[in-house]
Amino acid sequence: MSDRSSQIELLQQRYRTSLIEKSVEIAELRIQYESTDDDESAALASQTLGDFLHKLAGSAGMYGYTEIAISARNIMMTLQNDDSGQLSAQLDQLIAMCEQASDGTST
Amino acid sequence: MPQSLPDNINQTLMQRLNPAYLRLDATMKVTQTSSNLSEYGFADITEGVDATEHIDFLVGVDPAQALSLPVVASPNGHPVCIELLPEQGDLNVIIADAREQFDLQQKLQQKANENQLLLEKQRTLLGELHAAKAELARRNTELEEASRLQSSFLSGVSHEFRTPLTSILGHNDLLRKSLAAETRPKSDKKQIYTDAVRRASQHLLSLVENLLDHGKLDAGEITINPRPVQLSTLQNDLEMLLRPLADAKQIDLLMQRQYPVDESVYIDESRVRQCLINLAGNAIKFTDKGSVTISMAHKDDELQLRILDTGIGIKKEDLAKIRQPFWQVADTGKAGTGLGLSITERIIELMGGEMTIQSEYGRGTEVSFSLNAPATDASINLDQAREAAFKDQVSILLTEDDLDIAQLVVILLEEANAKVTHVENGELALQALQRDSFDLVLMDLNMPIMGGYETIRRMRDDGNHTPVVIMTASALEADMHKAQALGCDGYLLKPVEVADIVAIADQIIVPLE
């Protein structure tokens, strides 16, 4: 196996492991988003959550976690449309997908 | 026809019909009789008697009209045919034996009656069949509805459980993180408590996931998506995951590998992993001393997987039952939904394999299955990169704040004959562009300190016209327009393929003379 192959394998392993941390971070950002009580902090929390999802959508896709990437993109759209009813269920699903992908039971 | 034939027919018919005869005058008095009349019970009929007084069927008959009476009873009870033939004012009465005809008629009638009965019976049976079919259809509908409701209930409940469980796990992790950051006395057991919460929550979550998978399998919602997987990576991951469980029970976890170290195959990694975790997890759960062995062999495009344990084994009478959903071996004291093995077997079947269980009670169990797994290249991404390589080496400035992406793209681009400089934000990109010249800038948009749009604007303001290709996860139309307005040379949506970068770079990089 070439050095680059080993490097890629290492990156893939590291990314998979990082998905559990990402799921925790999503949960944390979600709490911040849901607990805001004024427009200004709501907009900031939405922006922070959106930025995180944006990054996740990009990186998950690069590492082959297509479902996570699609889910993150969909939630970005939901955030933009301010559809809080749908957002909660979507975030639950994304958190679960990250956890499953991290422990290897799903992608 | 020879003359002898009609004569024979005539003779045969005369013998069979044995016709008796009497002739009556206009007053219905007998004027002539045949000798065999008594054979039909007409013994009292002699010349000169009034025939209507002795023969019932002649009462009220018009002697001038011909008449046929098919099958009537003669005085001695024989069935007879009567032909009345007027002739010159007299009436000839022919009485012929009709037993054959009568028997035939009787048989036909009996047949007709039987047919009628059969028809009635058939109608009744058909009616019952229709009713039974209708009842069956109704029960099937009820069963389908019940099954649908059950699946729906399980999915609903599982989902409802999963949401708060995920939240519990998430918050518990936050708590663990904050505890880890604190300096606490050794006697502080908060970390132990949070670990216990995490273990219990994860266990509950896995049970819920099993219920959800069970529902999905019933609904045919699970699909198999084979992708290239390196076997050693898969087995290493399994070892990493299962080792703590085996260590906790002080049993050996052995890994047998019969494949080249860099062997990659096409399988649905997540499903194979799920099956192996389930089976090996069971093996560890039911083994209190000795070892659990996970064996993986790849030969002739077939992946053979085997989990062998020295655990409590399975009784013969339980071997068939353990495959049934929700069934659990009694008196083991082990928790579970009784779904793991059933789900595993169904997923293995979905992947085209067949699960085999061999066990000796008290000695141990071996579970094995084989899958079609064509070999593939060990580093498919690198191969793709090599295939799509730049003809001449190009220098690329990669501006990307996400290290996960950046490190992967750097390796892939280097394999594609590029010299890559990586920076993490726009400000660093501007500095790099002042120091060195590049053939291409790959630019992320959403970065800290200085984002992609601002960086491109400043580049162009500074008179730097190095081609820029944006790489972003956002497909929003507004971004595209903005990128074009700023004079970007290309736009790639993540996940990007090296081939896409090479293709777009080939179009926009002007070779230096």
**Domains in chain B and their CATH numbers?**
4-97 (3.30.450.20), 228-376 (3.30.565.10), 381-508 (3.40.50.2300)
B366-B367-B373 Cα angle (round to 5): 130
What is the spatial order of strands in the sheet that B20-24 belongs to? B30-33, B20-24, B90-97, B79-87, B67-73
Please check the confidence at residue A104 and state whether its pLDDT lies above 90: no
Q: Which of B167, B382, B444 sits opposite A27 (nearest CB)?
A: B167
pLDDT category of residue A62 using cuts at 50, 70 and 90: confident
Per-residue model confidence (pLDDT) at position B426: 94
**Among the ranges given (A89-103, B124-138, B369-383), the one the predictor scored with the smallest mean pLDDT:** B369-383
Q: Which residue of A has its CA nearest to B471?
A: A58
What is the domain partition of chain A in residue ranges?
Answer: 3-102
Q: In the structure encoding, which two tokens stand for residue B321, read together?
A: 């039952």
Helix A3-34 to helix B403-415 angle (10° resolution) is: 160
Per-residue model confidence (pLDDT) at position B94: 93
Helix A39-62 to helix A3-34 angle (10° resolution) is: 160
Contacts of A92 in chain B (CB under 8 A): 162-163, 166
Q: Which of B378, B407, B494 sits opposite A11 (nearest CB)?
A: B407
Chain B residues 206-265 with CB within 8 Å of chain A: 209, 225, 227, 230, 233, 237, 241, 261-262
Please check the confidence at residue B157 and state whether its pLDDT lies above 80: no
Q: Is B335 exposed, middle or buried (0-12, 13-18, 19+ CB in 10 A)?
A: exposed
Contacts of A50 in chain B (CB under 8 A): none
Per-residue model confidence (pLDDT) at position B456: 92
Per-residue model confidence (pLDDT) at position B378: 33
**Among the ranges given (B74-78, B223-227, B450-454), the one the predictor scored with the smallest mean pLDDT:** B223-227
pLDDT in tens, B10-41: 888 888 888 999 999 988 999 999 888 888 88
Please check the confidence at residue A58 and state whether its pLDDT lies above 50: yes
Chain mean pLDDT for chain B: 83
Per-residue model confidence (pLDDT) at position B513: 40
Query: Is the CB of A95 less than 8 angstroms away from the CB of B171?
Result: no
pLDDT category of residue B324 using cuts at 50, 70 and 90: confident
Contacts of A14 in chain B (CB under 8 A): 404
Q: Answer with the residue of higher pLDDT: B185 or B352.
A: B352
Q: In the structure encoding, which two tokens stand for residue B238, read together?
A: 């399994």
Contacts of B270 in chain A (CB under 8 A): 100-101, 104-107
Average pLDDT over residues B419-442: 94
Long-range contacts of B83-91 (CB under 8 A, 24+ apart): B89/B25, B89/B26, B90/B23, B90/B24, B90/B25, B90/B26, B90/B31, B90/B63, B91/B23, B91/B24, B91/B25, B91/B28, B91/B61, B91/B63
Per-residue model confidence (pLDDT) at position B380: 37
Using CA atoms, how far residue B329 sits from A44, B212, B346, B359, B392, in Å, is 54, 22, 19, 14, 66
Contacts of A47 in chain B (CB under 8 A): none
H or E segment and range at residue B229: strand B227-230
**Among the ranges given (A23-32, B73-82, B84-93, B171-180), the one the predictor scored with the smallest mean pLDDT:** B171-180
Contact (CB, 8 A) for B322 and B368: no
Per-residue model confidence (pLDDT) at position B251: 93
Contact (CB, 8 A) for B483 and B470: yes
In angstroms, the CA A75 to CA A94 distance is 9
Please check the confidence at residue B159 and state whether its pLDDT lies above 70: no
Average pLDDT over residues B308-316: 90
Query: Is the CB of B378 less than 8 angstroms away from the CB of A5?
Result: yes
